[in-house]
Amino acid sequence: MIDSKEWGSKAARTRYTGYDRTIGGICWLLVALVFLDIELVPTDRHSMLLLALFCSALLCYHLAARRLVPYRDHGQLRVSLDLVALLLFVVALSWHTGKLASPFISFIYLILMAASLTLGRRISYLMAALAITCCALLGASQTPAFGGELASRFVELFPFLLIAHLGALLSGEAENARLDVERLSLTDDLTELNNMRSFEALAQHQERLAKRYQKPFAICMLDSDNLKQVNDRYGHLAGTALIKWAAHIIRKNTRDCDIAARFGGDEFIIMYNDHDKDQILPAVQRIVRAMAATPFLFEGERIDSTISAGIASFPRDGSDLREVIMRADEAMYLSKRLGKDRASLYRKEARGNGAGRALQVRREEFGGAVANLHREGAAVHLGEGDLAAGDQGGCAAAFQLAGERQVVHLEIELEIEPQASRVEVGASDQAPAPVHHHELGVNKGGRLGKDAHPLLQQLPEEGTAGPLHEG
């Protein structure tokens, strides 16, 4: 899941910046009202100078606090200081303009409401206690008997506590609603993992840290192997259950510091910080094994599923986040071609020049290009030991291709399109012309024709053939 601290700090900075503008507006409003009171209400020179001095002190504080205690670093502290300063300013104005009968005394309610909406319940109660204390001092200075009548005047002071309490309750409800909206905007609703919006923001932050401190990070792309089969056999609700189960497996096998997200459909992405691809390969293999070993239940039936993964890392496989994701995606499709239910590391030599294909020679990755025969069935002549094969259909075989200098044994899978009339497999050495070139006849139905090469005549119609040799 997403780290709430990262998003919480950003959201808090945005909110406190808004508070700064609001409280600044209240300060200027109070100053304007003071000068309006001086203009409309007859005031002696001494009181006028004091009121002007209070206004100047408030404005100087506001300007100094912006520079010394910025909102982006000390948001809650700054709001608390601003509201205390406003409260003291209102009390000072009230002291010289009629005490409890002052026209400015009602601004205490505004300050308490602002405190309850921005600072939470505990600080709001403290502000209410401070406001009651100030009012008690104003009343005591006005009427000596005010202290003895404090209990009877509790009804007059009770609204301070009531405003603080109700404001704090409303603030708490608003904060919970805001957190729910924020969570929904950053979380995939089906899997409860991060969505790509939150993943991109967090991953880009980690990318900047990795580049600054020259640390690696790894990206793992994962894709369910049998979602279509599950959808076709059990229905799309079962496919949805498969996606949720895969997310559950990923969540159980990742750490809090790992960033896991649903990439789209049945594809997932994980970012591992401070590790390269070789270090996190065992962790990804745990996810693959857990997926294969634990079927999920759908309407009382146990359904087996597997997942394929590809891993790439920064800076070995790419200079930025986007490039590393692309390389991890290529490695994931390599896992698909090698039989699924596995994790593969990205290797540059496996990309080749064509469609980015790769082979295994006796379960070891074979370097070199693997070309793609498109639906036109065009022939492709490759280097020694390389293969051209289609993308759909087919059957499997093992060939021993003899070049002029050495013999390479390739265990390959021929994927034959039913629409193609023939498939060609070529092997060549460093010489310009191919050393061996076989045309393998395949009829329109995808079965071997009469003109098929003898090597393929020995293949069974379905399944995997044993080693075939050419003399």
Q: Whole-angstrom Cα distance, residue 16 to residue 12?
A: 6
pLDDT at 17 over 80: no
Task: Give the model confidence (pLDDT) of 327-377 as tens digits.
Answer: 999 999 999 999 999 999 998 765 544 444 444 433 333 333 333 333 333
Whole-number pLDDT of residue 340? 94
**pLDDT surpasses 60 at 230:** yes
Judge whether residue 410 has pLDDT over 80. Answer: no
Domain ranges of the chain: 4-186, 196-346, 359-467
Q: Is the pLDDT at 303 greater than 50, yes or no?
A: yes
What's the rounded Cα separation, in Å, for the pair 351 and 174? 53
Please say whether the structural domain 196-346 has been given the CATH code 3.40.50.300.
no
Q: Band of the pLDDT at 386, cuts 50, 70, 90?
A: very low
- Among residues 375, 333, 362, the alpha carbon closest in space to that of 350 is found at 333
Would you say the C-alpha torsion 336, 340, 345, 348 has a positive or negative sign?
negative
**Residues 437/407, Cβ–Cβ less than 8 Å:** no
**What pLDDT is stored for residue 351 in this prediction?**
57
Instruction: Identify whether the C-beta of residue 266 lies closer than 8 Å to the C-beta of residue 224.
Output: yes
Between 312 and 173, whose confidence is greater? 312
Whole-number pLDDT of residue 198: 92
Reply yes or no on whether the pLDDT at 126 is more than 60: yes
Helix/strand/coil for 255: coil
DSSP string, 357-398: --EEETTEEEPS--EE--TT------STT--EE-SSS-EEEE
Q: Which pLDDT score is estimated for 447?
A: 43
CA atoms within 13 A on the CB side of 53: 8
Per-residue pLDDT tens digits for 249-273: 999 999 999 999 999 999 999 999 9
Distant-in-sequence, close-in-space partners of 291: CB < 8 Å, separation ≥ 6: 246, 249, 305, 306, 307
User: Using one digit for the tens of pLDDT, what is the confidence trace for 427-451?
Assistant: 333 333 333 333 343 344 444 444 4
| Percentage of residues in the chain having pLDDT higher than 90 | 35
Task: Using pLDDT thresholds of 50, 70 and 90, give the confidence band for residue 309.
Answer: very high
* Strands (DSSP E) found in 133-216: none
DSSP state of 404: S
